[in-house]
Structures are given as C-alpha cells and as structure tokens.
Amino acid sequence: MTNVAAVIGGGVIGGGWAARFLLNGWDVRVFDPDPEAARKMGEVLDNARRAMPGLVDVALPPEGQLSFHATIAQAVTGARWIQESVPERLDIKHKTLAEVQAACGQDAIIGSSTSGFKPSELQNGALRPEQIMVCHPFNPVYLMPLIEVVPSPVTSPVHVARAKEVLTSLGHYPLHVRKEIDAHIADRFLEAVWREALWLVKDGVATTEEIDNSIRYGFGIRWAQMGLFDTYRTAGGEAGMRHFMAQFGPALKWPWTKLMDVPEFTDELVDLIAGQSDAQSGHMSISQMLRTRDDNLVAMMRALKSQDWGAGAIMNAHERQVRSDTGMDIRIEGLPDVSAPLLTVRRAVPLDWTDYNGHMNEAKYLQAFGDATDRFMEMIGCDAAYIATGGSYFTAETHIRHVDEALAGAVIEVRTQVLMGQGKKMHLWHEMYEGDRLLATGEHFLLHVSLQSRRPTDPSAEILAALGRVAEAHAALPTPEGAGRAVGQRP
C-alpha cells in the first residue's frame, strides 16, 4: 500500500517537505491557493531531484506521485501524514488545522512547520488536539536532517512515536523537544546570533560579509561536526569541560554581547544591511546560490558520512534502511537463483562524482566497481565480521573500459559475473548500466589473504561454498565481450 502525505502550503518549506516525501517513494497531495504554487514547488523539486539522491550510496525508492488539489479536504483525505506550512499567523493556522481535522483520518499525523508557535497554541480550539504537534524543519528540508518534534502535554505519545518513526524512515533526525517553548531550540540560537550580528553591522564593527566569513571560516565548520558543547569540551584540553568552564566561565559576566537588546529596524539600517548583502553576493542569482548551497551541503555531509559522524551518521542509518527495504543487503544463501549476473550496486551519481566536463569522473567508475566488489564479498560472507577474524580479499589487478558517460543524478546499476572462484582466487566481471545503456565494464582479479601474514591463503569453508555456488552457476554464461582485454587492444 502506497504511503500518502498531504502538504498544506506549497512555498519553499512546503516544497521541501514534498520533495523529501516524494523522493522516498511517498505519494504527495498539495493544497495551496497560490496560482503559481505548482511552478514554485517545481523549482524546489528540481533542486531536490538533483541533490538529494547523492546523500546515500544506494538508490532511493521510485519517486511517488505528486498531485495538486482544489480543497484541503481533497488533499488530506486518506493521508497518513499531513504537514501544515502556511504563513506564521495563528488565525490562519487555526483555520487551516480546523479544515484539516474536519476531513482527515483520526490516525493521521498532523505536523506544523511553525518556527515560533507552541503546539498548545496550535491546539487551542482544535477538534482533536492530541493529533497536532510541531514538526519544525530546516531549509532545505530535502537535505537538512533536523526536525524539531514538539508535543504539548495533551499530544498523544502514540502519535509522537509514529511521527519520529516516519521521520527517521525519511532520513531525518527527529529531535524530541522535552518542553514546549517559544521558537523551540535551534531558532533560539539563531535569533541570538542574528541579534548580535545586527548590532555589529549597525555599530560599524563589521560588514555582513565579514560576519559571514567569521562563521564559515571559523566556528561554523566546527559546529557542523561537533556542535557547541563538544567543541568547548575539546577546548578544555585533557581536563575537558570542567577546565573550560573554570577558565572561560567568568567571561560570561563581561559585557561582550547585546543579546537582550534589538536594534530598531529603521530604513537606514535596512538599507545598510540590504546594500551590504547585495554587494556581498549580488553577482549570483538566488537560483545559483541555492544550487551552490545544495552542492556544498551534499559534499560536506558526504564527508561526515565517511566518518559516520553527525549528520553523516543519520545518512548512514537511512542508507541501511533503504538497503534493507530494497533487498540490497541480501546474502547468497537468501537468493534462490544465482544463475544471472548479480545486482551489486544501484545508486544515483552524486554531485561530487562529476568533473569539469559535467559527467562522472573516471576515478568514480573505479569507486563504483570497488563498491560492487565489496558488496559481492559481503554477499558471499566476507563481511566486516569475517574480516575481523583475520582474512579478506585483496585486489591484485583491475581493468576498466569506459564505454559511455553518466551525469549527476543518473541511477546506475552494476551487475557482477563470477568468471572464476576457487581456492584463493576470485575473478569478477562488472558491467555498469544506466537503464539498458552500458556505461563501463570493470574486471577485477582478487586473492584471499591472511591479514596476519599478508600472504595468500584459502578462505573459510562457508565463503568457498557460497563463491563456488555462484561460480558454478555463472560458468554457463557466455564469456563477456572485453574480458581479458588489454589497454589499447583493438577489437
């Protein structure tokens, strides 16, 4: 049964929600009275389709169906999740939520994207207040993991648990806010920094560009991977947080900041900040800035992914779930038929795999084929647990033929044939496709090695049996065109 989400309000945030659901295989129904809603949401979706698949190293589910509806009732009927993203006016939200609850199922999750209102304020006068909670995202919703899940004392714990489960399945990190509070958690930090920045510009201490540079070249990089408290704990040296607080705690009494004062938004201040902002980045259109932002976010999060850290750990958890849901974690013993080449990689080409020509870099062809070899090793039982016992396969020789090009976002598959598998030796043939189009072939010859002696040795009996089963089945396949070919060899 297809999951259905309803998005009420199709602006930047609503469009980001729609993209996150759609690209995870959900059908999405949208209500927005703006006649330009479809166009505006289409631009968000285009950016998401380009960037979001690169977050994980396995293909996301087939995209769901997007539809626009003339009434809220049409959009929410039968929806499992309903996300309200209308303007930040309590009267509009109350009217919208009343219409939602008049038509939606009692089991549906109703989340509000509000950045400021508390859930109890949203629930005031509601038909079923226990059904409503805050699910506050960060822009762009299709890339940023954090969702602040804020219940009130009357919100159903069952609904909260289900909301966290769904958000996790979409690749989000649901931060359960313990107590409802104005602006939740993250926006309170942002407002404090924003106030201080306004004073620095108003008082002529720094320009908007200099303030941005102090963040992106300094503490912003640290915060992205370590947060606030862990950063300060490391600043305390071996003694940790206690030393840091003893050393820098007294400074909190010094009049460094103006956090509780807000400069008046006079025309002069608005003109000053807007003028500096335009001078800082006005050489780029907003569309160019959004694409650059997405490219950088994907690249930075993929770096964290390789360390299984911060936002990268969330991505890895999502990838493990997608692999399980799509059968990309099945072992040989779970496959009744291994007579055809085995699917070992199915993924989208991420943005950081492309080069100056706009297509996949040749080094990434090797990475994809290396991933295919790793996946096949895992399939026959040579996984992390086995390697920890002291044995593994080492690649002795590789040959890649580049047949066609692949662009960012292309969904590629690698199918693996065993040319030989006996004793210490394993000879693999990989073919990479986009649909029916052959992109490249990779030929790998590997030896099983003892990690203690670093010399070739026989693998375990279980691995030999699994490899032998596939090798015997694949012996009936024709020898692939190009197998054994040397560099520069004529056809």
Q: What pTM was computed for the model?
A: 0.88
The pLDDT value recorded for residue 486 is: 80
Cα Rg of the chain (Å, integer): 27
Q: What is the pLDDT of residues 294-315, one digit of tens each?
A: 988 998 999 999 999 999 999 9
The pLDDT value recorded for residue 351 is: 86
Please compute the mean of the pLDDT values over residues 350-379 and round it to a whole number. Answer: 93
Q: Which residues pair with 31 in a beta bridge?
A: 8
Ramachandran category for residue 448: left, alpha or beta (phi over 0 → left; psi -120 to 50 → alpha) = beta
Helices vs. strands in the chain: H and E counts, helices first: 17, 13
Q: How many residues make up the chain in this entry?
A: 491
User: Above 90 in pLDDT, residue 287?
Assistant: no
Lowest-confidence range among 64-78, 127-141, 254-268, 343-357? 254-268
User: Above 90 in pLDDT, residue 92?
Assistant: yes
Count CB atoms within 10 A of the CB of residue 329.
Answer: 16
The token duo for 445 is 């010859």
Mean pLDDT of the chain: 93
Count CB atoms within 10 A of the CB of residue 1.
Answer: 4
User: Above 80 in pLDDT, residue 1?
Assistant: no
Angle at alpha carbon of residue 86, lines to 137 and 171, rounded to 5°: 25
* CA–CA dist 101, 110 (Å, integer): 9
Phi then psi for residue 340, to 5 deg, are: -100, 160
The pLDDT value recorded for residue 455 is: 95
Q: What is the pLDDT of residues 434-463, one digit of tens each?
A: 999 999 999 999 999 999 999 999 999 999
3-state secondary structure of 157: helix
Q: Is the peptide bond before 140 cis (omega within 30 degrees of 0)?
A: yes
The token duo for 59 is 């293909």
> Look-up: residue for tokens 């996300």?
83
* CA–CA dist 410, 259 (Å, integer): 47
Angle at alpha carbon of residue 222, lines to 114 and 281, rounded to 5°: 65
The pLDDT value recorded for residue 256 is: 67
* CA–CA dist 251, 241 (Å, integer): 15
Phi then psi for residue 121, to 5 deg, are: -70, -40
The pLDDT value recorded for residue 440 is: 97
Where does residue 467 rank: exposed (0-12), middle (13-18), buried (19+ CB within 10 A)?
buried
Q: What domains are defined for the chain? A: 4-176 (3.40.50.720), 186-283 (1.10.1040.10), 331-474 (3.10.129.10)
290 or 366: which leads in pLDDT: 366
User: Above 90 in pLDDT, residue 472?
Assistant: yes
Q: How confident is the model at residue 259 (pLDDT cuts 50, 70, 90)?
A: low
